[in-house]
Amino acid sequence: MFFMIAAPLLLLFAFVAPAHAQVPAFTQSGPLESNAGHVMMEWNAGSAVSLEIATSPAFEDAQELYQGRNHAYFLSGLDGGTYYLRLTDEAGEQSETIKLAVVHQSLEQAIWLTVIGAIIALGIVAVIVRGARA
């Protein structure tokens, strides 16, 4: 009996419910970390969304990165620091803010490895050039 009443009501609700009823939400759980300044942001949303980034949790310096119906955005080239991201849909519903910490790898380690790589490469060139001349 309950099913006979509930089923049509549920169907009716499904048809009349607005498409943007789903509150936008990131699929990742924060806080996020990146050691190369890039991160893939993914979310679920029932309508078009606006993705914003800011350096303060209150979004005083918010900058819109993307506006549209995609469910992902690849963010790259970020300088070291702490960032905050949030989604806002067409109805003004906002996702929870997600925190992103960008801490780049050690520059000293990078320079050492670059120097080692250069020495190996020059060594290979030297063996080939000397061998080709002989």
Q: Which residues bind another protein (CB under 8 A)?
A: 35-38, 40, 63, 66, 68-74, 76-79, 104-107, 109-111, 113-114, 116-118, 120-121, 123-125, 127-132, 134
Rounded to the nearest whole angstrom, what is the least distance from the CB of residue 13 to another protein in the complex? 26
User: Rounded CA gap, 61 and 84, in Å?
Assistant: 10
Burial of 122 (0-12, 13-18, 19+ CB in 10 A): exposed
Smaller CB separation from another protein, 7 or 55? 55
Rounded to the nearest whole angstrom, what is the least distance from the CB of residue 73 to another protein in the complex? 6
Smaller CB separation from another protein, 13 or 42? 42
User: Rounded CA gap, 38 and 101, in Å?
Assistant: 11
User: By C-alpha distance, which of 117, 56, 109 is closest to 86?
Assistant: 56
Largest Cα separation within the chain, whole Å, is 96
Rounded to the nearest whole angstrom, what is the least distance from the CB of residue 16 to another protein in the complex? 25
Smaller CB separation from another protein, 5 or 77? 77
Smaller CB separation from another protein, 17 or 116? 116
> What one-letter code names the amino acid at 42?
E
Q: Which residue has the tokens 């979310």?
A: 43
